[in-house]
Amino acid sequence: MAKKSTRIIAVANEKGGVGKTVTVINLGAALSLMGKRVLVVDVDPQANATNGLGMAPGPDQLNTYDMIMKPGEIKAEDVLVESPWKGLHLIPSHVDLSGAEVELVDQPGRENRLKDALAPIAGRYDIILLDTPPSLSLLTVNVFTCAGEVIVPCQTHPYAFGALEELFDTIGAVKDAINPGLAVTGVLATLYDQRTRVSHRILEKLKTDERYRSLLFQTVIRANTKIADSADAGKPVVFFRTTSYGALDYKALAQELLA
């Protein structure tokens, strides 16, 4: 679907609140700072990535729902918007996307809608980052069918760690049935608070568990209020507070991803 140089990466976790969307926003921005051409595709009906980039669509703005539900009529080119930051583009989401679940159920090739829609423009970018809903859904399957890689953010909290196994099962099922090229690129420890014992304990589990230790990024995303502040301001933290822990951590993650 894409030129060989294009990496299509899903950032996914079926549990909410683990840093999934802030990773999409800030990793994308950090990669653009490194001169990469980056496309963020918001496939979450909550549209948090869209809002976090300060580009909430107006009432007449085309969005991911239109692109997925009207193949042949609405093209990715029609939906694409440029961000204020060089090299960073967005396909915005909208609450209407929540209806796609029901509308796609009886449609032929329903799991390929996103992949087919992005195919004509994918080769323009070095990296495409796909933000997913925080649940297992037909939209999530569309994302995993489209992607070649998955980054799994895991909050350093027991509930988030416990949810990893189910997510890996889902990825494995899609790999076996639909997309044999799908692979987990890495597990990313997020919202790490070095002051708490539980954060230390869960990070140690990630480092030692035989299922995850070889996949764990060296970069750890520390808990940092500037990340939330930047999301509220609609500006990635790497531009909002360039010397904050959040900015430094996501820049380090971008470097590690490209190494």
Low-confidence ranges of the chain (pLDDT < 50): 1-3
Q: What is the pLDDT of residue 4?
A: 53
What is the residue-wise DSSP string for 84-150? SSTTEEEE---GGGGGHHHHHTTSTTGGGHHHHHHHHHHTT-SEEEEE--SS-SHHHHHHHHH-SEE
Instruction: Determine the 3-state secondary structure of 27 from DSSP.
Output: helix
Query: What's the whole-model pTM score?
Result: 0.94
pLDDT at 93: 94
Where do the domains of the chain lie, and which CATH numbers do they carry? 7-258 (3.40.50.300)
25-77 tens-digit pLDDT: 999 999 999 999 999 999 999 999 999 999 887 778 899 999 999 988 999 99
**The pLDDT value given to residue 252:** 98
